[in-house]
Structure 1
């Protein structure tokens, strides 16, 4: 199509003429004083809005500062009241920790357990959910595993890892898995334990393998009459609480916090329940009785299959 430039030039000239006429008409109707007054009104309105926003910002900042002060006071309070609340509650208890989420946990959890009188005998970390991508053939050869599906092999490794934690009979297997960077081992293995704490929850959906990693290990410990407790941190993207509760084990969903650690200590001290701040929790803490102790959770009913008499 041939473009007629004369038509476009004429259109542009018409637009500019219309704009000029509009300016002249506006000046004639309002006058220069009217335009100036209108601009002043607009500036005054904007200035008032900015002042209102400034005052609101100062109020929000003051509120934030007060909340920070309150939060610091709360943390100091929790830090001071936790030791007397848990002192001696777990005296003589020997614990094993199994971490299946690969993202680590805070050292203050172990410190809290020690403060309560417990000894953490071992910490076992499952790395990458026993991902066999680069290790399947080697493990089949070195461990004499019969050819099975990948999930069956993972389940087998999980059960044997649990057996190694408790009996010490599978140290060669544990060492092989550690060398393959599928396990991280810390502490003493084969030492009798009174309870096992599973640290679950995940930030990565590909690592959520509760049915093929956590369940076989949990089942083994429960079969050996060892109480099992499932915990996770508040901000995990994928919660394990529902999966753990299917095994009728006590759970704590905010174990990074002082209330969560207190709930865990009391759970191990024979006050089972589901504690924390998520919808899967039944209450924040075990109820305190009038004598200053901690009453039975769930109105005196325990979580079945989890606690010893």
Structure 2
């Protein structure tokens, strides 16, 4: 007769066997799983290494292209701006190296750089918009009119266009020397601009900015610079807005201008100023402005061509 003790011992043996089987099976499965994961990790490592090598190769090619553009740039722009004068306007985030390299290239093109005006962080600060508007109204030279638009970028562009650019028709100053000194002095004292030494009016202007704008009030700040540059263009023989904004969203001033068909019809933009090729394109775009044409140049998705005359 089978006793209760026999049943208990039998059931215990069954569960013990199951437990041993589970442990042994899981050990085998874990080994295969770990082996598979190790293989996957090795494959991913090889893929990452291949991509890194590819990137290094592309970086080297870009560096070579930039050196080539630097060497041939002066030849490519030679004589394009002969007997023309150009004033540089830089935002607070513009890179000094880009400014210096562009100024040198402008001189190679035959242009005379008449000086630099730097726009400070306060210039595009939304919290100081009313202060800038009031100051611009007080400093506007007698006999000249401000734009009808009420935003600070356009209004400041109207004032500084009068002070910094010569009349398109006769290449004569739009303001007297005293009005120029008073206007720049007033804006400088309020912390909106920093005029360079010996700054004087020119026929053409280049507005240099940085890249994409981020942070609080980024869109408002970019819009102020974009509208300023557009109005500056309308105040003289032509202007180019150049920066390093190649982002898909185009959040910098260049992107803001390109989203406005009215602005792009008059103001040229370049999105790769931080490269030697982009600086050459900036000079060529400025030459195109003299001819009454405008375009969107560079390598961003919202550019129409790499350079003037290369569409399609």
Q: 1:71 to 1:38 in 2, by over 3 A?
A: same
Query: Which of 219, 242, 258 is equivalent to 1:241?
Result: 258
Question: 1:264-303 maps to which residues of 2 (within 5 A)?
Answer: 264-270=282-288, 272-274=293-295, 275-287=297-309
RMSD: 3.9
Aligned residues: 262
Give the equivalent residue in structure 1 for 2:93.
103
SS at match of 2:117: strand
The TM-score, its normalising length taken from structure 1, stands at 0.67
Q: 1:241 to 1:142 in 2, by over 3 A?
A: closer
CA contact (8 A) 1:230 1:241 kept: no
CA contact (8 A) 1:126 1:182 kept: yes
CA contact (8 A) 1:259 1:284 kept: no
Structure 2: distance between partners of 1:81 and 1:209: 35
1:150 deviates by 11
Runs (4+) off by over 6 Å? 20-23
Which one has more relative contact order, counting CA pairs under 8 Å at least 6 apart?
A: 2
Which residues of structure 2 form unaligned runs of 5+?
A: 1-11, 142-147, 166-172
Q: 1:214 to 1:62 in 2, by over 3 A?
A: closer
SS at match of 2:205: strand
SS at match of 1:79: helix
Structure 2: distance between partners of 1:254 and 1:234: 7
Give the equivalent residue in structure 2 for 1:232.
243
Structure 2: distance between partners of 1:140 and 1:80: 43
Structure 1: distance between partners of 2:133 and 2:302: 40
CA contact (8 A) 2:243 2:271 kept: yes
Residues 236-274 of structure 1, C-alpha deviation per residue, up to 9 Å, x if partnerless? 623223447445233323222223222222233347441
SS at match of 1:184: strand
The structure having more radius of gyration, on CA atoms, is 1
1:95 deviates by 0.4
Residues 131-159 of structure 1, C-alpha deviation per residue, up to 9 Å, x if partnerless? 546947994997599xxx99477755542
Structure 1: distance between partners of 2:69 and 2:14: 71
1:35 deviates by 5.1
Give the equivalent residue in structure 2 for 1:171.
181
Structure 2: distance between partners of 1:253 and 1:151: 28
CA contact (8 A) 1:231 1:241 kept: no
1:181 deviates by 0.7
1:113 deviates by 1.5
Give the equivalent residue in structure 2 for 1:124.
117
Structure 2: distance between partners of 1:56 and 1:68: 18
SS at match of 1:90: coil
Q: 1:41 to 1:164 in 2, by over 3 A?
A: closer
The TM-score, its normalising length taken from structure 2, stands at 0.67
